[in-house]
Amino acid sequence: MYYPSLFESFFSPTRIVVVSEERLKAAELKVKQDELTAVEARIVELDKYKDELVKQVAALQPSKEPQSLEEALTGECDV
């Protein structure tokens, strides 16, 4: 088995890859589409979490007690 020396690993020629403009644009487009998909999935996740928090906050807030018999009977209160 051949193990390159330390000298060879630092001074080996650089590898150059030539890519057509169309392939480069296609790769950039795919990356951006993947990013967009990930962001949209995260937005859906956050919306669900927000709805859950809104329900929890509403459940924890004290309900307003009616001040008079009329408010208790009609269900209307002056806020």
How far is 63 from 77, CA to CA, in rounded Å? 11
d(CA 19, CA 28): 12
pLDDT (0 to 100) of residue 46: 97
Q: In 10 A of CB 71, how many CB atoms?
A: 14
Query: Which residue type, as a one-letter code, is found at position 24?
Result: L
Model pLDDT for residues 16-38, shown as the tens digit of each residue: 888 899 999 999 999 999 999 99
Question: Tens digits of per-residue pLDDT, 31-64?
Answer: 999 999 999 999 999 999 999 999 999 888 877 6
pTM for the structure as a whole: 0.53
Q: Domain-by-domain residue ranges, the chain? A: 17-59
Which candidate, 9, 22, 66, places its Cα nearest to that of 75?
66
Average pLDDT of span 1-23: 76
**How high is the pLDDT of residue 66?**
62
Q: Over 90: is that where the pLDDT of 74 sits?
A: no
